Amino acid sequence: MPILVWKKLWVYLKTLITKIFKACVELAHHPKQWRSAKIIVLQKPGKPDYAVPGAYRPISLLNTLGKLLEAVMARRLSYLAEKYGLLPNSQFGGRPGRTTEQALLVLSNAIDKVWYKHKVVTLIAFDLKGAFNGVNQISLDASLQARGIPKVARKWIASFTSNRHANIGFDDFRTDTELLMNAGLAQGSPLSPILFAFFNADLVDQPVDSHGGASAFIDDYFRWRVGGSAEENLVKIQSEDVPRIEEWAQRTGSCFAAEKTELIHITRKRGEHLEGQITFDGTDVKPSPTVKLLGVVFDQGLRWKEHIQQAIKHATKTTIALSGLRHLRPEQMRQLYQACVTPIMDYASTVWHDPLRDKVHLRHLNTVQRTVLIRILSAFRTVATTTLEVEAYILPTHLRLRCQAQRTIARLHTLPRDHPIWSALPRAQSRRNNVGSYARFPLAEALKTMDVDRLNELETIDPRPLPPWRSDAFTEIELEHDREAARERAESTRNTSDIVVYSDASGREGHLGATIIALNDDDEATESQQIQVGPMDRWSVHVAELIGIFYAVNIVFKLVHQRPIVGKQ
């Protein structure tokens, strides 16, 4: 049954479903019906030969009610992992408040830091075969136990991963439902990402320091070494890292695709010898001029030419596909461009784009935007690009990338100070004042377009999950469709409540303010407060409304604590 149906029925079934979920966990049992999946096979994009099984990705369509229980358990595991630091700080996948862009920024910061000392960074990226499907149940349970997950949760997880059944669909063909041998983790389950993070935690758990580091996003694992030369780094990787990784694979029953392992030396030292090789799982791995890492193409000098070419290629391909659509209005085409094309070009732009200097990048990216705008507006090809951007109400490419970088940096500054991205932010702030650097750090260059003092004043927004047993601050929020219905709802609520507080916000003469008032049963004001928010060029009405709600909640707490307590002496 679709999850939308469960949402509609939740008011009537929540008590029964809660009892079922509680019994499942206490009995360490995941029902058989919830362990059966319909597997659909999708083509992986960009593969040269689709006759090879590895060119396809199996996706499990699972029971929606079972996925709800899996989501509950995933939230519990995530809370335990973040509360007690059970996972390596360099593991970015399947965790709240962590993105691929942050993982790449940490790597870029590590590279920029050692480049100042004229050292070479050697990076090796590993490909784990099967990933979720290749997870060994015994090794997973051992990892969970070693990192302190309670026995009751581990027993339920053992039931979740065992005796799974599935049928496979490919185009119009579908097999019979059969038992899956060594099923691993279901791709499509909300529980699989956090379980995989525990599974490969020992592999990822390496410090990020002046000698190197490691990071991972789900099954994308990469390790880098820092040294005076490429040869020195290769010796360290071959003698220390390769044996450790091969030992982990043997211990956990995992398998790496040695032929997909990539190696690159990153440096701008002239005359540096960038040859050599390592041997991994019986396969010789030689350095490449480029390596694709979490969707970004790294080159040896971090010039990003190859990445820009890839982004333009993918964006152009998407643009051509959108051009085949017919009977769309200009505003619809504009929306499709902003939703489908610009994210391809802008992805992880804080890693590779310098908003103050990258004129060549912008020239190539502008070509894509100009092509789309001509299609949206049905304009002549001789019309100037600036005119097209004004008519379509679309930001020029350089402003769009600058705004993207500023939004990203602002979000990063709201993260807690123990987040790994804070290894890069203070240094980027200090680097922004450097003049004449031979290797510019894009994050530091983007900071030059912002007020650092205001960034440091931003509130901290902790993305980590709250305790699962914590009750919500608001048990019911009603939004009516019209004013009259809202008025009737307010009167009804007031008649059944002993504390009613109103808040509102508005602007006047260029300034915003909010007011709060609490009324008793006789329509007399018992509490009131007025707040001056600030000038309208720095604050919005929506923010002022939120500030009013915040102070209204404080008044509610105050009135609750002032209630007389009646009881026996």
- The pLDDT score that the predictor gives to residue 567 is 35
CATH 3.30.420.10 intervals, the chain: 483-561
Among 131-145, 186-200, 346-360, 423-437, name the one with the lowest average pLDDT. Answer: 423-437
**Mean pLDDT value of segment 36-47:** 84
- Higher local confidence (pLDDT), 171 or 376: 376
Contact between 480 and 489 under an 8 Å Cβ cutoff? The reply is yes
- The pLDDT score that the predictor gives to residue 563 is 62
Question: Sorting pLDDT into bands at 50, 70 and 90, what band is 275?
Answer: confident
- Higher local confidence (pLDDT), 432 or 127: 127
**Mean pLDDT value of segment 167-184:** 84
Q: Which of 291, 257, 283, 287 is nearest to 272 (CA)?
A: 287
**pLDDT tens digits, one per residue of 509-564:** 889 999 999 888 777 888 889 999 989 888 899 999 999 999 998 988 888 777 65
- Higher local confidence (pLDDT), 197 or 128: 197
- Flag whether pLDDT at 168 surpasses 60: yes
- The pLDDT score that the predictor gives to residue 342 is 96
**pLDDT tens digits, one per residue of 304-352:** 999 999 999 999 999 999 988 888 999 999 999 999 999 999 999 999 9
- The pLDDT score that the predictor gives to residue 473 is 66
Q: Distances from the Cα of 348 to the Cαs of 93, 181, 354, 366, 565, in angstroms?
A: 16, 39, 12, 18, 57
Torsion, CA 167, CA 170, CA 173, CA 176, rounded to 10: -10
DSSP string over 495-518: HH-S-EEEEEEEEETTEEEEEEEE
**Percentage of the chain modeled with pLDDT above 90:** 59
**Mean pLDDT value of segment 146-152:** 95
**Mean pLDDT value of segment 464-493:** 79
- Higher local confidence (pLDDT), 180 or 565: 180
- Distance, CA of 262 to CA of 7 (rounded, Å): 46
Beta-sheet strands, E only, within 186-248: 212-217, 220-227
216: left (phi over 0), alpha (psi -120 to 50) or beta: beta
Question: 518: which strand partners?
Answer: 501, 527
- The pLDDT score that the predictor gives to residue 450 is 92
- The pLDDT score that the predictor gives to residue 435 is 63
**Residue 88 neighbours by CB distance under 10 Å:** 21
**Mean pLDDT value of segment 500-513:** 89
- The pLDDT score that the predictor gives to residue 24 is 96
- Flag whether pLDDT at 568 surpasses 80: no
- Distance, CA of 126 to CA of 208 (rounded, Å): 18
- Distance, CA of 432 to CA of 409 (rounded, Å): 13
**Mean pLDDT value of segment 397-426:** 94
- Flag whether pLDDT at 103 surpasses 70: yes
- Flag whether pLDDT at 367 surpasses 70: yes
Contact between 464 and 96 under an 8 Å Cβ cutoff? The reply is yes
Contact between 218 and 101 under an 8 Å Cβ cutoff? The reply is no
- Distance, CA of 468 to CA of 197 (rounded, Å): 20
Contact between 419 and 453 under an 8 Å Cβ cutoff? The reply is no
Question: Angle CA(438)–CA(237)–CA(147) in degrees, nearest 5?
Answer: 105
**pLDDT tens digits, one per residue of 197-248:** 999 999 999 988 888 999 999 889 999 999 999 999 999 999 999 999 999 9
- Flag whether pLDDT at 290 surpasses 60: yes
How big is the chain by its Cα radius of gyration, in Å? 28
The residue count of the chain comes to 569
Torsion, CA 489, CA 493, CA 496, CA 501, rounded to 10: -150
171: left (phi over 0), alpha (psi -120 to 50) or beta: left
How far is C-alpha 22 from the chain's CA centre? 30
**Residue 559 neighbours by CB distance under 10 Å:** 17
Q: 33: burial class by Cβ within 10 Å (0-12, 13-18, 19+)?
A: exposed
**pLDDT tens digits, one per residue of 352-362:** 999 988 888 89
For the segment(s) 483-561, the CATH number from 1.10.1060.10, 1.10.760.10, 3.30.420.10, 2.60.120.10 is 3.30.420.10
**Residue 221 neighbours by CB distance under 10 Å:** 22
Residue found under tokens 């119009």? 172
Q: Distances from the Cα of 239 to the Cαs of 206, 243, 279, 444, 555, in angstroms?
A: 16, 7, 10, 35, 65
Contact between 13 and 137 under an 8 Å Cβ cutoff? The reply is no
**Mean pLDDT value of segment 380-385:** 93
> For the chain, what is the mean pLDDT?
89
**Mean pLDDT value of segment 387-410:** 95
DSSP string over 64-117: HHHHHHHHHHHHHHHHHHHHTT-S-TTB-TTSTT--HHHHHHHHHHHHHHHHTT
- The pLDDT score that the predictor gives to residue 565 is 44
Give the contacts of 170 (CB within 8 A, at least 6 positions apart): 40, 41
Coil, helix or strand at residue 50: coil
What is the number of alpha carbons within 13 Å of residue 25 lying toward its C-beta? Answer: 16
**Residue 230 neighbours by CB distance under 10 Å:** 24
Question: Sorting pLDDT into bands at 50, 70 and 90, what band is 80?
Answer: very high
Coil, helix or strand at residue 283: strand
- Distance, CA of 424 to CA of 105 (rounded, Å): 7
**Mean pLDDT value of segment 383-388:** 94
